[in-house]
């Protein structure tokens, strides 16, 4: 079945671009605490893709520049990282981070749609993506293009989120907001954070795109907020899906929804008030 059977691709991509642009400043404010939790994911992707000094690497859906920045440190001055994202405002932050880390000569950032990106064949040693593939409406076509862009036996490694109940960092906030506005779950196949949680389906898509030696690895990433209020403040700043979901509500109702998210997070607080959430990350790696 096509990834695009029941969804309006152009409308979704326009919403995604608008949504991520709208929270870019929030990501800029919060990227340090986010990366304290998420750096382990970037490190694992670079390891799974076997990225080495001098490699040429493509990062799909780089957002604020990860795992591009981590990969750039690994490839060194003789290597190259091309990092793409659909959101120009997120790329502004990514470029700032690269420059602050002295990596702006190694990383080239491009505003691009991963599904329509024209890439030369056999051009990259590795492709990596951290929480980007779930948002592609036509993943099958995108994966086929990625495989062609890799050198023979080049490697791809991607991280996606597991099922909602195993990713409370997101589902606690998103689930509460959906309940508050009585939103129906999106149709199966709709791009979103949990769209690729079915590992069998995910492996099949990679094999159908021509990849071999496809392997799946499951690991956890802990996220910690100093308080339930901080947990909500972060989501208010960076969570584009929630902001879009409640945008039609009155300001008072929006405030009530955010308060409900704080109450939900408080149930997970320890004696000090800190909220620590363990989240399951699915890693998939393959060879072209």
Tell me, what CATH number does 62's domain have?
A: 3.40.50.150
Residue 106 lies in a domain: yes
Q: Assess contact for 125 and 51: CB atoms under 8 A.
A: yes
Kindly report the number of other CB atoms within 10 A of residue 19's CB atom: 18
Cβ proximity of 48 and 155 under 8 Å:
yes
User: Is residue 208 domain-resident?
Assistant: yes
In a domain, 181, yes or no: no
**Number of domains, the chain:** 1
pLDDT tens sequence across 58-78: 999 999 999 999 999 999 999
Q: For residue 210, tell me if it sits in a domain.
A: yes
Q: Considering the domain boundaries, does residue 271 fall inside one? A: no
| Domain containing residue 61 | 9-163+187-221+280-287
Q: Is residue 252 part of a domain?
A: no
Which pTM value belongs to this model? 0.92
249 in a structural domain:
no
Report which DSSP code applies to 162: -
Question: pLDDT tens digits, residue range 20-45?
Answer: 899 999 999 998 889 999 999 999 99
The answer as to whether 170 is a domain residue is: no
Which CA distances in Å does 216 have to 79, 153, 156, 202, 269? 27, 18, 12, 9, 32
114-154 pLDDT, tens per residue?
887 777 888 999 999 999 999 998 899 999 999 999 999 99
């Amino acid at each position: 079945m096509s990834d695009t059977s029941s969804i309006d691709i152009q409308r979704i991509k326009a919403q995604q671009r608008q949504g991520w642009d709208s929270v870019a400043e929030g990501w800029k404010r919060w990227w340090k605490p986010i990366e304290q939790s998420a750096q382990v994911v970037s490190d694992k992707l670079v390891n799974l893709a076997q990225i080495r000094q001098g490699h040429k690497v493509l990062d799909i859906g780089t957002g604020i520049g990860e795992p591009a920045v981590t990969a750039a440190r690994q490839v060194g001055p003789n290597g190259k990282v091309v990092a793409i994202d659909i959101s120009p405002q997120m790329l502004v932050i990514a470029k700032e981070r690269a420059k602050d880390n002295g990596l702006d000569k190694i990383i080239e950032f491009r505003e691009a749609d991963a599904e329509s990106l024209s890439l030369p064949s056999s051009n990259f040693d590795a492709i990596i993506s951290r929480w980007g593939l779930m948002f592609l409406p036509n993943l099958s076509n995108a994966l086929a293009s990625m495989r062609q862009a890799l050198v023979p036996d080049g490697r791809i490694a991607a991280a996606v989120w597991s099922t909602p109940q195993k990713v409370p960092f997101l589902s606690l906030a998103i689930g509460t907001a959906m309940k508050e506005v009585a939103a129906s779950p999106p149709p199966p196949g709709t791009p979103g954070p949990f769209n690729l949680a079915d590992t069998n389906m995910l492996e099949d898509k990679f094999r159908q795109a021509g990849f071999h030696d496809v392997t799946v690895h499951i690991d956890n990433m802990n996220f910690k907020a100093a308080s339930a209020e901080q947990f909500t403040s972060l989501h208010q700043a960076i969570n584009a899906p929630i902001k879009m979901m409640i945008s039609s509500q009155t300001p008072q109702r929006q405030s009530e929804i955010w308060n409900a998210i704080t109450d939900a997070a408080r149930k997970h607080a320890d004696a000090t008030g800190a909220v620590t959430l363990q989240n399951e990350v699915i890693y998939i790696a393959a060879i072209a």
